[in-house]
A and B are shown apart, each in its own frame.
Chain A
Amino acid sequence: MKLTETLTDLANPTRFLALTARILPWLAGVTAILLAIGLYQSAMAPDDYQQGATVKIMFIHVPNAWLSMFVWSVMSVAALGTLVWRHPLADVAAKAAAPIGAAFTFLALVTGSLWGRPMWGTYWEWDARLTSVLILFLMYLGLIALWRAVEDPSRAARAAAVLTLVGAINIPIIKFSVDWWNTLHQPASVMRMGGSTLDKAFLWPLLVMAIAFSLLFVTLHLAAMRNEILRRRVRSLQMMQASRVTFASEAGAGSRDGSAPKGAA
Chain B
Amino acid sequence: MSLGPYASFIVTSYVLVAAVVLLLIVWIIADYRRQQTRLKEIEASGITRRSGRSAADIR
Contacts and interface: CB of A to CB of B under 8 A. Distances in A.
A and B touch in the complex (CB under 8 A): yes
Interface of A: 4, 7, 10, 17-18, 20-21, 43-44, 47, 52-54, 56-57, 60-61, 64, 99-100, 103, 106-107, 110-111, 114-115, 117-118, 216, 220, 223-224, 226-227, 230-231, 233-234, 237-238, 240-241, 244
Interface of B: 1-7, 9-10, 12-14, 16-17, 20-21, 23-25, 28-29, 31-32, 35-36, 38-39, 42, 45, 47, 49-51, 55, 58-59
A21 B3 CA distance: 41
Contact of B13 (A10, A60, A103, A227): A60
A168 B36 CA distance: 35
Contacts of B58: 17-18, 20-21, 226, 230
A122 to B, nearest CB: 13
B24 A53 contact: no
A53 B28 contact: no
A188 to B, nearest CB: 23
Contacts of B36: 230
A230 B12 contact: no
Nearest to B35: A230
A61 B39 contact: no
Which of the listed residues A52, A53, A241 has the most CB atoms from chain B within 10 Å of its own CB? A53
A43 B1 contact: yes
Contact of A237 (B10, B21, B39, B59): B39
A244 B24 contact: no
A21 B23 CA distance: 21
A69 to B, nearest CB: 17
B44 to A, nearest CB: 11
19 contacts: A4-B50, A7-B51, A10-B49, A53-B2, A54-B4, A54-B9, A57-B10, A60-B13, A100-B24, A114-B9, A115-B13, A118-B6, A220-B28, A227-B35, A231-B35, A233-B39, A234-B35, A237-B42, A237-B49
Nearest to A106: B20
A241 B47 contact: yes
B9 A117 contact: yes
Contact of B6 (A52, A60, A234, A237): A52
Contact of B49 (A7, A52, A241): A7
A18 B58 CA distance: 6
Contacts of B12: 114
A237 B47 contact: yes
Nearest to A16: B58
B39 A230 contact: yes
Contact of B10 (A56, A216, A227, A240): A56
